[in-house]
Chain A
Amino acid sequence: MAGLADVFLAHRTALLRFLRARGAGTEAEDLVQDLWLKVEGRDGEDVADPLSYLYRMANNLMLDRYRSITRRERREQDWVDAGSGVMAEAADDRLADERMIAAQQLEAARAVLRDLGPRVELVFRRFRIEGVGQRTIARELGISLATVEKDLQKAYRAMIALRQRLDTE
């Protein structure tokens, strides 16, 4: 079986194209290089589907990048808020608040999932919390793959809407 490095070299152009499409822009070449360094470190590992594994690594690189940019923007915003006195709150109070908010969010999430019906809830938990693939879930529940897809779309829409609602509260 071909090692990760061999597969990387054979598909370097395709991975570069993927990173560009993912929005890497002028940094795509640098990111491919980052990817190569990671691949070299793992070349000995036994990977079932090396090409898919490489794409996933590339995708994760982009997600990390997006996350750190978003976080930086948020921090800057917080700093501005703090400067205007909005964040003037004792640390203790904030901790207690956070705990209360977390409990409320849990309750809200439970209610949203319950409203979707037992199967949708089960499918969503299996997929997103326990990391089981859609094909396996379909087989476990004796339902079609299309049904699993529809359930997940329903659950995701509801959960993302909930998250947005919680964020703006």
Chain B
Amino acid sequence: MNGARTMIEQEEALDWTIRTRDPDFRDWDAFTRWLEAAPGHAAAYDALMLADADLPALVPAEPLFAGTPANDRGAPASRWRWRWIGGGAIAAALVAALSIGMTNRADIYTVDTRPGEVRVIALDDGTRIEINGGSRLRLDHNDPRFAALDSGEASFTVTHDASDPFRVTVGDTVFEDAGTIFNIVRAGDATRIGVAEGEVIYNPDSDAISLPAGRALREDGRGLTIVSVAPESVASWRQGRLAYDNAPLADVTGDIARSLGIRIVGAPPLRFTGTILLDRDPQRFFARAAPLLGVTARHTRDGWILKERDGPQS
């Protein structure tokens, strides 16, 4: 009896601990009344607040939400251009028309792209998938609303149907469209998604985090990071540009290697903010991009070796 009562009081005390911790908490009258309701309430609250004060020391402080929260949508996303600016050197575009089968059985097939190769797939429902180089995507002949990105990068321009949402599976994670253009990168254990238009739901059956246009999410061994991005920079690889905001250099080099079809060795522990222009000629590309990235690039038999520049050059 007494134990059950203490349990409930403990729960209430925790509730008030969390509520009063909120910078926007205002309901001090209700809090006063709860404290007055039983003599043990104040002590239970004090003990929990003391525990609460220790929590930041227990938790590694890593910024998981960088950039400004996008409360207001700025200018509407600029129109997408579908081709490389420099002409179709890698426009090995494959347009496959897929029919919706009458059966419910999955009929999975795999689309692989070589490094540097880009493929465009048009599904029967009007959805369009652009697959960057060095990628593996699985699709289902019998279910045009299914896609799984096993590695690499792809952009999805989805024909929205609320009654039958389009879902992309990446490892254990599911992204569900809510009327959308979005881009996904899968490299090692890290998954990145950027939303250009509409909205994407992260793990709709469990976490159900909604990512509107201008939001990007990164998931890796360290947890989730959500950042704001310029919607027009999402999937800019399709226009021959790569745009970043405080991205680890390893992400950048992975994207370059995939897009240009080259091998890159070593990623110094740097971060990069800015836009780099892709160029089919790696020599010319690195001549321009390496200084921006703060590295030197050397071509060897094993690929391109990147090293951190020694200090500021005068």
Q: CB distance B18 to A156 under 8 Å?
A: yes
A62 part of interface (Cβ distance < 8 Å):
yes
Chain A nearest Cβ from B14, distance in angstroms: 6
Q: CB distance B46 to A134 under 8 Å?
A: no
- Cβ–Cβ < 8 Å partners of A14 in chain B: 29, 32
Q: CB distance B21 to A128 under 8 Å?
A: yes
Cα–Cα distance between A166 and B29 once the two chains are bound (Å) = 35
**Identity of the chain A residue whose Cβ is nearest the Cβ of B27 in the assembled complex:** A52
- Cβ–Cβ < 8 Å partners of B55 in chain A: 128, 159, 163
Q: CB distance A133 to B24 under 8 Å?
A: yes
B54 part of interface (Cβ distance < 8 Å):
yes
Within A104-154, which residues are at the interface with B (CB < 8 Å)? 105-106, 109-110, 113-114, 117-119, 121-122, 124-136, 139-143, 147, 149, 152-153
Within B175-226, which residues are at the interface with A (CB < 8 Å)? 199, 201, 203, 206-212, 219, 223-224, 226
A90 part of interface (Cβ distance < 8 Å):
no
B36 part of interface (Cβ distance < 8 Å):
yes
Cα–Cα distance between A164 and B50 once the two chains are bound (Å) = 12
Within B7-39, which residues are at the interface with A (CB < 8 Å)? 14-15, 17-18, 20-26, 28-29, 31-32, 35-36
**Identity of the chain B residue whose Cβ is nearest the Cβ of A65 in the assembled complex:** B46
- Cβ–Cβ < 8 Å partners of B31 in chain A: 18
**Identity of the chain A residue whose Cβ is nearest the Cβ of B207 in the assembled complex:** A119
Interface size class for chain A?
35 or more
Q: CB distance B15 to A114 under 8 Å?
A: no
Known contacts A63-B46, A139-B71, A149-B18: does B35 contact A163 (CB below 8 Å)? no
Known contacts A49-B26, A117-B206, A159-B58: does B21 contact A130 (CB below 8 Å)? no
B14, B56, B199: the one contacting A153 at CB < 8 Å is B14
Interface size class for chain B?
35 or more
- Cβ–Cβ < 8 Å partners of A147 in chain B: 208
Q: CB distance A109 to B32 under 8 Å?
A: no
Chain A nearest Cβ from B63, distance in angstroms: 8
| B37-61 to A contact mask, C-beta < 8 Å, 1/0 | 0000011001011111111101111
A70 part of interface (Cβ distance < 8 Å):
yes
Known contacts A129-B56, A142-B211: does B28 contact A55 (CB below 8 Å)? yes
Q: CB distance B42 to A110 under 8 Å?
A: no
Known contacts A66-B46, A131-B23, A136-B69: does B64 contact A156 (CB below 8 Å)? no
- Cβ–Cβ < 8 Å partners of B48 in chain A: 160
B32, B58, B208: the one contacting A17 at CB < 8 Å is B32
23 pairs across A/B with beta carbons < 8 Å? A21-B36, A52-B26, A52-B28, A67-B53, A70-B50, A110-B60, A119-B209, A119-B224, A124-B59, A125-B59, A127-B18, A129-B59, A132-B23, A132-B65, A134-B22, A134-B24, A139-B71, A141-B209, A142-B201, A142-B210, A153-B15, A156-B14, A159-B58
A residues with CB within 8 A of B: 14, 17-18, 21-23, 49, 51-52, 55, 59, 62-63, 66-67, 70, 105-106, 109-110, 113-114, 117-119, 121-122, 124-136, 139-143, 147, 149, 152-153, 156-157, 159-160, 162-164
Q: 5 nearest interchain CB pairs? A: A142-B210, A23-B42, A21-B35, A119-B207, A55-B28
